[in-house]
Amino acid sequence: MKDRCIMPMVALRGMTILPHTTVHFDISRSESIEAVKLAMATNQYLYVVAQLDKDNSQGLELDSLQKTGCVVKVHQMIKIPKNVVRVLVEGEYRGELLGIEKKDSYYEADTRIWMDKELSREQEEAYCTSLLEAVRTCYDAGMKINPTVIRKLSKTKKTSYLIDIIMEQLPFSYEKRQSVLNIRDIQERLQFVLALLQSEAEISNIRKELQEQLKGIVEKNQREYVLREQQKLIQEELGEKDTSDIEEYQTKLQKIQAPKEVEEKLTKEIRRLSTIPITSSESTVSRNYIETLLEYPWNRSTADNCDLTEAELILNRDHYGLEKVKERILDFLAVRNMVSEGNSPIICLVGPPGTGKTSIARSIATAVNKEYVRISLGGVRDEAEIRGHRKTYVGAMPGRIATAMMKAGVNNPLMLLDEVDKLSSDYKGDPSSALLEVLDAEQNCRFVDHFFEVSIDLSQVMFIATANDASQIPKPLLDRMEIIEVSSYTQNEKFHIAKEFLVEKQRKKHGLKAKQFQIEDIAINKIIEEYTREAGVRSLERQIAALCRKADRVIAGGLRKSLRITEKNLSEYLGVPKYIHSDWDLESKVGVVTGLAWTSVGGDTLSIEVAIMPGSGKLELTGNLGDVMKESAQIAVSCVRSMENKDILKEQDIHIHVPEGAVPKDGPSAGITIATAIYSAVTDKKVRGDIAMTGELTLRGSVLPIGGLKEKLLAAKNHGMKEVIVPIQNRKDITELSNEILDGMQILYVSHIREVWKQAIVKE
């Protein structure tokens, strides 16, 4: 055969063919079948090469194939079921792959044939003897070699033939066979195979030693098991038999009064445990499973408190405000008084941080006389956290729901699902999907934990979830819950919470008595106004805690016997006020308007600035704005142009900026604010500095309603605004607000942008 030739090619997955061997392989790709047919129709020669990635089923490239293959002679091809062709070939030469070309229906390979150099008779004899000795060493070490193969190898007297036959007949991986195929020099190939056989002999010796050690351990365990069973029989004959774990499990099973399905499962598992040797790892898994199911409170429950008056007193004692939450709990108790059985409500408290969502759940548990258990869902991204792991896995355990039930010790606790909007998900599953069954009153009576393998009744559990932002809760999950808004606190509510709850709480935490530490009412109000700006009361509690620490220091140091915080000495202990009323910039300006925004941590004011410059009508937006707010800006520009003069801004650039560019801003309620700022900049008229506004805008100038009105009005009040412009469709929301929020602030209702300009633009 020529040194270089072109012939049909077949690429094999996970298989290497060596010269001087006869093998068969199956093919199903149309290109491979056509290549074999072409070989059979010509000189029967075919080039066979292995793919680098055995799982690759896409088109072949030179880089996806091994660099060395085998030139084989096709002897037979047979069609077998499922469109597969079985081909019988005989390897003849090593061949280097120089290139491939895709023909109409097959691949063609450009190959260079490698011919082995001739060895002397003495070399052939020495090399073959070394190879046969190495093979016999592997056989003696325990390598699985058929003696017939050794006899066949002994008859081969040519080194190149013997190497290839050894690699084919002995149980080597196709990667090692490919390594031998890649070696062109016969002596290098010999050294590689001898080293490989020596390595396999050492591995076989080590494996043989390990098997002997394992056999000794098994025999020892078996002997111990027989002796233990004999000891058990002797104790029974002598009447000294102790109560076994099996009997204890059976006794507990009779006491727990579990459902029939659970009893059958436990009875079967206990019977199975009795047949498993105690030293077996399976025994540990089975015991853990039985003990977990016996620990679960299948039939233990607490009696609900049905006294509405007492429950109301407890709720009012522990929390100030939160009227909607309290009303809903009292309604639940009233229904329970009328109907003994019924699905418990699934309530979701949504509001800014620090507004008492988590703490009110504990008070509800006390008020209704339920055991309280809390599950934190923040950052949970594995579905097994909710549903548990299969008990067959190493380290398997029940999910958080079942674990919380066992911790509560009853089947009707109050279960708090904290931070349900912070759930995550990854390749291990979506925990929010697992919660769908938990929070569905129609399905949770048959909730299945993967570890338990039997259904759990959660219908008597009272679920309360908390979240900061309802929009972050998956929609199917949100649909299963009753949303109760826990809005921001007013200054008066913060004052009462601090005076009636927080001060006493921090006194106890810091070891102070009432006579040792006191805060005047005016000082509390000053802390709220000048040291905190938040929707909840966490910062307020931290400031009170700081004062308590100062009291501990002066009392423990012997400087004073008590500390009384007044308006005058407050800054001495808390430092310079962080927020001062004089910081409010209420000056009327051109192109600057104060808007109102809602965030997950409460309301906030938003200053929007507009500048007009000579240019080509380009619009520039800065301030880290989201897509919704960018669209609002574009609508506002179009609205102003259509309202005033279609040619304005045609030869001018407009720049809209929202200060604090590092803070992301987005939302659908800045339309009228941006439009007013643009109108002011275009007409060079000032906008009142003591007026704030919120509302979305259409191209025709209509003002659309918005959400989060209470938080926005509180932010406006805290910023010193005298008037607030809101959409007329939000008038119904104003009626639900307390007078404390509205006092000292006038609400202006608008339905069109021109009404906004009429109220906000300074009249000259």
Segment 369-376 shows an average pLDDT of 89
Q: Which residues have CB under 8 Å from 299's CB, separation 6+?
A: 256, 257, 258, 411
Mean of pLDDT over the chain: 84
Sketch the domain layout of the chain as residue ranges: 4-114, 119-242, 245-295, 308-485, 491-574, 584-760
The predicted-structure confidence for 430-440, as pLDDT tens digits, reads as follows 788 778 888 88
Above 90 in pLDDT, residue 74? yes
Q: Is the dihedral of CA 340, 346, 351, 353 positive or negative?
A: positive
Determine the pLDDT at residue 72: 94
For 23, left (φ over 0), alpha (ψ -120 to 50), or beta? Answer: beta
Q: What's the token pair of residue 204? A: 């076989």
Compute the average pLDDT of residues 612-634: 86
Query: Would you say 152 and 9 are in contact if contact means Cβ atoms under 8 Å apart?
Result: no
For residue 577, which amino acid is it? P
Told to judge if 274 belongs to the known catalytic residues of this protein, a careful annotator would answer: no
Among residues 419, 497, 405, the alpha carbon closest in space to that of 451 is found at 405
Render pLDDT for 218-264 as a digit per residue (tens, 0 to 9).
Answer: 888 788 777 777 766 775 666 544 446 777 888 888 888 888 888 88
Using the structure block, give the residue that is written with the tokens 């365990």: 221
| Topology of the domain comprising 491-574 | Helicase, Ruva Protein; domain 3 (1.10.8)
Residue 646 pLDDT exceeds 70: no
pLDDT at 58: 65
Rounded to whole angstroms, the Cα distance separating 364 from 330 reads: 10
Task: Indicate which residue of 357, 665, 710, 712 is catalytic.
Answer: 712
pLDDT value of residue 16: 92
Cα separation, 293 vs 456, in Å, equals 11
| Structure confidence by residue, pLDDT tens digits, 137-155 | 888 877 888 888 888 888 8
Tokens 């052939």 identify what position? 124
pLDDT tens sequence across 440-454:
877 778 888 888 888
Q: Output the pLDDT for position 109.
A: 93
Name the catalytic one among 669, 680, 686, 710: 669
Q: What is the pLDDT of residues 159-214, one digit of tens each?
A: 888 888 888 888 888 889 999 999 999 889 889 999 988 888 888 888 888 888 88
Q: Across residues 316-337, what is the average pLDDT?
A: 80
Candidates 3.10.20.30, 1.20.58.1480, 3.60.90.10, 3.10.290.10; CATH matching 119-242:
1.20.58.1480
* 377-400 mean pLDDT: 80
Mean per-residue pLDDT, 750-762: 89
pLDDT in tens, 463-513: 889 988 888 888 888 888 888 888 777 777 788 888 888 899 899 998 888
Q: Regarding the domain with residue range 308-485, which homologous superfamily does it belong to in the CATH classification?
A: P-loop containing nucleotide triphosphate hydrolases (3.40.50.300)
pLDDT at 569 over 80: yes
Tell me the average pLDDT across 656-669. Answer: 76
> Please, are residues 265 and 391 in contact by the beta-carbon 8 Å criterion?
no
Count of positions (residues) in the chain: 764
Per-residue pLDDT band for 48 (boundaries 50, 70, 90) equals very high
Strand-pairing partners, residue 588, are: none
Confidence bin at 647 (pLDDT 50/70/90): low
How many DSSP H helices and E strands does the chain contain? 27, 26
Distance CA 526, CA 652 (A): 48
Do the domains at 308-485 and 584-760 have one common CATH topology?
no
**Residue keyed to tokens 């102790």:** 242
Per-residue confidence at 63, pLDDT binned at 50, 70, 90? confident
Closest C-alpha among 678, 684, 700 to residue 752:
700
pLDDT of res. 242: 43
Spatial distance between the Cα atoms of 376 and 373, rounded to a whole number of angstroms: 10
Report pLDDT for 232.
Answer: 67
3 state SS of 276? coil
Segment 546-568 shows an average pLDDT of 88
DSSP per residue, 486-516: --PPPHHHHHHHIIIIIHHHHHHHTT--TTT
Q: Which pLDDT belongs to residue 279?
A: 67
Beta bridge partners of 88: 24, 76
pLDDT at 240: 44
The SS3 assignment for 20 reads coil
Burial class (CB within 10 angstroms; exposed 0-12, middle 13-18, buried 19+) of 575: exposed
Give 688-744 pLDDT, tens digit per residue.
Answer: 888 999 999 998 889 998 888 887 888 888 777 888 999 999 888 888 777 777 787
The CATH code of domain 4-114 reads 2.30.130.40
Residue 122 is predicted with a pLDDT of 87
Cα 372 from chain centroid (whole Å)? 26
Give the span between the Cα atoms of 159 and 182, in whole angstroms: 16
In contact, 633 and 674? CB cutoff 8 Å: yes
Closest CA to 253 of 240, 267, 242, 238: 267
Evaluate if residue 620 carries a pLDDT over 70. Answer: yes
Q: What is the mean pLDDT of residues 276-299?
A: 81
Bridge-partner residues for 563, per DSSP? 517
| Mean pLDDT, rounded, for 603-629 | 85
CA distances from 261 to 189, 246, 266, 452, 647 (A): 67, 20, 9, 12, 79
Amino acid at 649: L
| Residues 470, 252: Cα–Cα separation, whole Å | 45
| Radius of gyration, CA atoms only, the chain | 41
pLDDT for the residue numbered 93: 92
669 catalytically annotated: yes
* Cα–Cα distance list, 527 to 38, 498, 505, 517, 554 (Å): 92, 10, 17, 16, 21
Just give the CATH number of 584-760.
3.30.230.10
Please, how many CA atoms are within 13 Å of residue 356, restricted to the half-sphere of its CB?
28
pLDDT of residue 241: 42
47 CA to centre of own chain? 50
Angle at 52 between CA 51 and CA 54, to 5 degrees: 65
User: How high is the pLDDT of residue 600?
Assistant: 58
β-strand partners of 656:
610, 621
Strand order in the sheet with 602-614: 619-622, 652-657, 602-614, 592-599, 691-693, 723-727, 746-750
Beta-strand relationship, 462-467 and 414-418: parallel
The separation between the first and the last C-alpha atoms of the chain, rounded to the nearest angstrom, is 105
